[in-house]
Structure 1
């Protein structure tokens, strides 16, 4: 077996998803390559973990978008009036929060996990923000809403606020409240608090 960099990242994502610590020696051995080959192809452990975490994030966001398409079709708002991008983001956060493997990584290596997930120059956050820009741009182009600020700034705020709630147990010893996150993000995106919360 001669795995490519993409194969290696996907394999690391599977280890994280299963709740297995990605030890580079054991991981390289499992792939049938040397540690030096592993490092040449994907960088050090933090580089590998960052790429694997983004892979999991991208896969989760894509699956959430597919769920919307399967259930709602190509509409911008569902029958309840929820904006497509907000519903997809809500599903995305919910799936990540429920992932036992992801939670185990956060619990076992909290300092490393938060650094990898929230580093503005890292391998995860900038790409997650870019993916959110594309997600929201689709709704803007379809006439779903008009943002008060540029999409780059809006999506930066969305991702940072989402992180604050999704990782609140690690960041602030608070139980994650995904419903509050959804309400606040809805207000941020649409410029109003939904009437059901008043």
Structure 2
């Protein structure tokens, strides 16, 4: 059986979720391919970690979207008026923060993990920014909102703010406080998307 790049990335994602360090030589052996083939398919360790974390991030984001649909269908707001994007972002942050595998990775390899997670030219952050842009655009169109800033700028600011709270224990020696993160992100997004309501 041929082992594809996708197979390797999925295997790496499973290892990360289990809190297991990525050992590329061992992974090549487990998958039954040579180290040369392994590296040709996925690049170096940072490249593989980035691809695996991107896969996990995409899955987490999709679960948050699916959770919204299960609870609110095609609505763009909760019954209390909260925008869908705010709910989805909060669910995403909550799941990332609760992931034992992510916490183990950040504790064991904080420098590498944060570099891979927050690199604006890497695999993870740009994908998350794009997902935010898509959701902001859908919400703005569905709710008839006119954003005060470009959606790419808003998405970048929100993702960076979320990172600063999700990884605050490593970045700033502060405890992770998702309640404060939600308050700040909601205030920022509502100010940019719902300026009349925010005043």
TM-score range, shorter chain: over 0.9
Contact 1:147 1:190 in 2 (8 A): no
5 Å-filtered alignment, 1:1-198, equals: 1-143=1-143, 145-191=145-191
SS of the residue corresponding to residue 191 of structure 1 reads: helix
When the two chains are superposed, the root-mean-square deviation of aligned CA atoms in Å is 1.4
TM-score between the two structures when normalised by the length of structure 2: 0.94
TM-score between the two structures when normalised by the length of structure 1: 0.94
Deviates more, 1:123-132 or 1:162-171: 123-132
1:145–1:184 Cα change, 3 Å: farther
1:173–1:144 Cα change, 3 Å: farther
SS of the residue corresponding to residue 174 of structure 1 reads: coil
Gaps of 5+ in 2: 195-199
**How many pairs are equivalent?**
193
SS of the residue corresponding to residue 17 of structure 2 reads: helix
| Partner Cα distance (1:135, 1:51) in 2 | 22
Deviates more, 1:34-43 or 1:155-164: 34-43
